[in-house]
Chains A and B, each alone.
Chain A
Amino acid sequence: MAAEPPLTQLVLAATSVADDLGFVALTDLSRALHGDGGDRYRIIGGHMLTALVARWGLGGDLYRETGDTDLGVPPVLVRELDLIDRLVALGYEQVAGDRFARTMTDLPVRLVGTDEPTRRAIIDVLIPAYTSRPRSNRKVGEALVATEVPGLATALQRPAITMDLRMLRLDRSMLTATLSFCDEVWV
């Protein structure tokens, strides 16, 4: 018998390069955060919407991943976990104040007869706005210059939706991740 929504375990299949790169970023975030991070962070943005749509079985037409995976995390957790160092250890390089990218070369897609563009899994590290005037250049620690997200502080106070993800990449390999998302009320 099929599981009834809301689901806590999702199986997602990549149908595009954007999906594939997003799955890599989600897996890497799970490795960087799961356990030590508890549920004190949230995946937000397009990947959150996709996960919540899948959790409620609303149909793939509503999936909305973009090339960047947005992590909402309090500054204290960034420092406590040495999050930036963890991302660097996973192969990410900082390409902007809050953006980390890992070059991927194992995709089963290539351009013929022209220079191959660099394909990268991208993680944006965003922090909560604790005032009514969110800033786009808040320095956190030595390396991170993050954007403040209005409402994220509220989301972090609400119960997290923690889900186990199994993600099928384009090359048919399976990735797994356990991650906490904002709940539907916040969305």
Chain B
Amino acid sequence: MDAIHALHEAGISTDRLETESSLPGSARPDAILDVITHDGRVRFAVEEKRRAPYPNEIPRLDAMRKALTEQGQPLLVVPFVSESLGLAITGGGWSWADGQGNFDLRAPGLLLRQRRTMTPPKPRRRHLPQGSGSLAIIRALIRFSSNEDEEPSATSLAAQAKVSQPRVSQVLRQLQDLELVVKTERGRWIPDRPQLLDRFLAEYPGPRGTEWYCYSLESPTEVAVRAAAVATDGQLAVSADVGPDLVLAWRRPSIVILYAATEIDIADLGLVRAQGRHDANVIVRVSSDRSIIPLPAFVAEVEGIEVPLADPTQMIWDLQDLGGADRLEAAGMLSEWLLNRH
């Protein structure tokens, strides 16, 4: 466990003990760790996870935390914990440590903290394939619902991504090398959707293209609905903050990102140019990434008007890119919805 190594490097002595095998699964820690202090030993019951929880998932770990408390101070070990997530985990009653040498261990009379790095680790493996077609395939795999009758085939993915079947097969093989998809005996592909989403969010280079910063006296939602009312099919997609609000409302939208296939006249939408991102409440982007506008269309209906939305993965990326604690929480909720929807 890298986290234990980091504790040792920080001059903290520990003993790793055997876990009690007679305990039921939910109450059995992944490890028992004694931290040796001047006053004696403080016992931690370790829960190790392959990915860090989103902030909104932390309350759901409460039952596990309570069960672990019987064995020691509950300690969550994950690959990486950001500064803001660390606060949320601590607020949820956990101590935590990550594989990058960051930790926050708390117990009565004990507080050990270290922050070595603020940025998540770079993936060790090769990068995801990039380009509109590849990204469209990856987004389609992430959208794949767990209760669909059949795993996606190269043919169905080619139709969704609007790329050739040989190109789909090529991308799928690359994803297979990255252990992000598994091929079934029937020639279909099972995606590891949480891993794919994490890798997509970490490696997406951004929408690129051209963008305009604009301001409107109307609310971002009103601007989005007005834009949708005049847009032609497949030419516009609404992203954060309005898109996520229409799917799974969490924060009042203060900005809207509109993706357009071609340049649009901002005056037609009642917009004026803003000086920059800091004073804009509307961002219009014309991107070369065709995968932002999903196929089939992802649409919300607002008072009878159909509002085309950006691919959910793009909305999550935009929420993270716009930043702020509330948006990160909204991104976590949207990710969870995307991965768990039926």
- Chain A: residues with CB nearer than 8 A to chain B? 15-22, 46, 50, 60-61, 63-67, 96-97, 99, 108-115, 117, 119, 136-137, 147, 170
Q: Determine if B91 and A136 form an interchain contact, defined as CB atoms under 8 angstroms apart.
A: yes
- A residues less than 8 Å from B300 (CB atoms): 109-112
Q: Determine if A18 and B253 form an interchain contact, defined as CB atoms under 8 angstroms apart.
A: yes
Q: Determine if A66 and B252 form an interchain contact, defined as CB atoms under 8 angstroms apart.
A: yes
- B residues less than 8 Å from A61 (CB atoms): 254, 281
1/0 per residue, CB under 8 A from A, across B40-72: the answer is 000000000000000000010010000000000
Q: Determine if B245 and A114 form an interchain contact, defined as CB atoms under 8 angstroms apart.
A: no
Q: Determine if B251 and A136 form an interchain contact, defined as CB atoms under 8 angstroms apart.
A: no
Q: How far is the CA of A96 from the CA of B59 in the complex (A)?
A: 7
- A residues less than 8 Å from B242 (CB atoms): 16
Q: Chain B: interface secondary structure?
A: mixed
Answer whether residue B298 sits at the interface, using C-beta atoms and an 8 A cutoff: yes
- A residues less than 8 Å from B337 (CB atoms): 117
Please name 14 further chain A to chain B contacts, defined as beta carbons within 8 Å, in addition to the given A17-B249, A60-B219, sorted by A numbering: A16-B220, A16-B252, A61-B281, A65-B251, A66-B252, A66-B329, A111-B299, A112-B299, A112-B300, A112-B301, A114-B341, A115-B342, A119-B249, A137-B93
Nearest B residue (CB) for A62: B254
Quick one: which of B252, B281, B306, B329 contacts A19, CB cutoff 8 A? B252
The interface size bin for chain B is 20 to 34
Q: Determine if A18 and B251 form an interchain contact, defined as CB atoms under 8 angstroms apart.
A: yes
Q: Determine if B249 and A18 form an interchain contact, defined as CB atoms under 8 angstroms apart.
A: yes
Q: Determine if B301 and A136 form an interchain contact, defined as CB atoms under 8 angstroms apart.
A: no
- A residues less than 8 Å from B306 (CB atoms): 112
In chain B, positions 232-252 with a C-beta closer than 8 Å to chain A are 242, 245-252
Q: How far is the CA of A115 from the CA of B222 in the complex (A)?
A: 24
Q: Determine if B341 and A17 form an interchain contact, defined as CB atoms under 8 angstroms apart.
A: no
Q: Determine if B303 and A108 form an interchain contact, defined as CB atoms under 8 angstroms apart.
A: yes
Q: Nearest 9 A-B pairs (CB), nearest first?
A: A15-B219, A17-B249, A18-B249, A112-B299, A67-B250, A65-B252, A96-B59, A108-B303, A16-B245
Q: Determine if B250 and A16 form an interchain contact, defined as CB atoms under 8 angstroms apart.
A: no
A137 to chain B, nearest CB (A): 6
Nearest B residue (CB) for A20: B249
- A residues less than 8 Å from B250 (CB atoms): 18, 66-67
- A residues less than 8 Å from B247 (CB atoms): 111, 117
Q: Determine if B221 and A108 form an interchain contact, defined as CB atoms under 8 angstroms apart.
A: no
A172 to chain B, nearest CB (A): 10
| Contact of A17 with B246 at beta-carbon distance under 8 Å, contacts A61-B254, A111-B300, A117-B337 already known | yes
Q: How far is the CA of A64 from the CA of B329 in the complex (A)?
A: 14
Nearest A residue (CB) for B309: A111
Q: Determine if A67 and B249 form an interchain contact, defined as CB atoms under 8 angstroms apart.
A: yes
